[in-house]
Amino acid sequence: MNIDGAVTGHAMRSLRLLLEAYAGCELPQWDLFATNVRVQRIEAGQVLFKVGDHHPYIYFIQRGLFKAQMPTEGDRMTTVFFPEEGDVLASMAALGVDGVRRVASRGLHPRAETLRAAVEAESVHTVTAIEPSLLLRVNYRVIEHLSSQHLQWARLTTTIALMHATTLQSDAGWLRSTPEQRYRSLLREHPGLVQRVTQRDLASFLNITDVALSRIAKRVRGDAMAGLRGDADEAADDESGVSGVGVSTVRG
């Protein structure tokens, strides 16, 4: 589908601001990069890429929401994260893992077998649009080429990798909590996300059944209502106390 020039121009300006924020400086040869960027509209339910695909592209999500899933036991697909506006999205194969592949193949890392399985599997996620979405797509080899020519682009790729590692570290801590704690955390920190995904996808993300999620949600709603009643009772008590003081003062 063709995207009109105004939408494309706005998306490219937003992308430049984002990438230069990552790099911490202006990025040279921006025009070369920009000519290789493609704007894509993705409909809800459309698969962006699948497990096992060779997919050397990196995406910048301008608008919309996706679910990233991995196969677990049997044919079951488990939702592991929800890429949304502002996220940088790519399959592992797109991110220049040649160095990781060399280290793994030579057994130079204590978890070489695990690493080898990851880098040889090409894409390790299946990514599907939950909502109609607008993306900017570029072949990672373009960024790799610019990184070999300019320190600023190399700094950008390093920052993106660090952002990814920081996110994984944060997720690892989050996963050590109970499903109910994770659900409460989502409601507190990402209330909009809970409203945008289906109960089935949310249950998969929390690694529980739909029934278990319903029970947790009901318990959380009950706690919220109890809290509201408590606040209302406290406010009524305060109001009563203030009135009493006023009457007493007048009478005195």
Higher-confidence residue of 197 and 91: namely: 197
Average pLDDT score over residue span 145-150: 95
Dmax of the chain from CA atoms?
A: 91
Q: Do residue 27 and residue 143 come from a single domain?
A: yes
Residue 5, pLDDT score = 75
Q: Residue 227 corresponds to which tokens in the numbers above?
A: 């809290």
Q: Do residue 231 and residue 196 come from a single domain?
A: yes
Residue 111, pLDDT score = 83
Q: Do residue 129 and residue 229 come from a single domain?
A: no
**What's the CATH code of the domain at 39?**
2.60.120.10
Burial level of 77, CB count in 10 A (0-12/13-18/19+)? middle
Distance separating alpha carbons of residues 48 and 94, to the nearest angstrom: 14
Domain that holds residue 37: 5-176
Q: Do residue 142 and residue 237 come from a single domain?
A: no
Neighbours of 153 (CB within 10 A): 22
Q: Do residue 23 and residue 128 come from a single domain?
A: yes
pLDDT at 135 over 80: yes
Neighbours of 85 (CB within 10 A): 13
Neighbours of 216 (CB within 10 A): 20
Choosing from 155, 176, 197, the residue where a domain stops is: 176
16 torsion bin: left (phi>0), alpha (psi -120 to 50), beta (else): alpha
For residue range 70-122, list pLDDT tens digits in order.
Answer: 988 767 889 999 999 999 998 876 666 677 778 878 888 888 877 776 667 67
CB 125 within 8 A of CB 80: yes
Average pLDDT over the chain reads: 84
- Strongest mean pLDDT among 7-16, 99-108, 160-169: 7-16
Q: Do residue 167 and residue 68 come from a single domain?
A: yes
Average pLDDT score over residue span 43-56: 92
Tokens 């959380």: give the residue. 220
51: CB partners within 8 A, 6+ apart: 70, 71, 121, 123, 124, 125, 126
Radius of gyration of the chain (CA): 24
Choosing from 150, 176, 202, the residue where a domain stops is: 176
Q: Which of 47-56, 207-216, 223-232 has the lowest mean pLDDT?
A: 223-232
Q: Do residue 251 and residue 162 come from a single domain?
A: no
CB 137 within 8 A of CB 48: no
Average pLDDT score over residue span 187-213: 92
Choosing from 176, 193, 226, the residue where a domain stops is: 176
Q: Supply angle C-alpha 237, 238, 244, rounded to 5.
A: 90
Q: Do residue 61 and residue 161 come from a single domain?
A: yes
- Identify the bridge partners of residue 59 per DSSP, sorted by sequence position: 89, 137
User: Which residue in 46, 38, 80, 78 sits closest to 62, CA to CA?
Assistant: 38
For residue range 233-246, list pLDDT tens digits in order.
Answer: 565 555 555 433 33
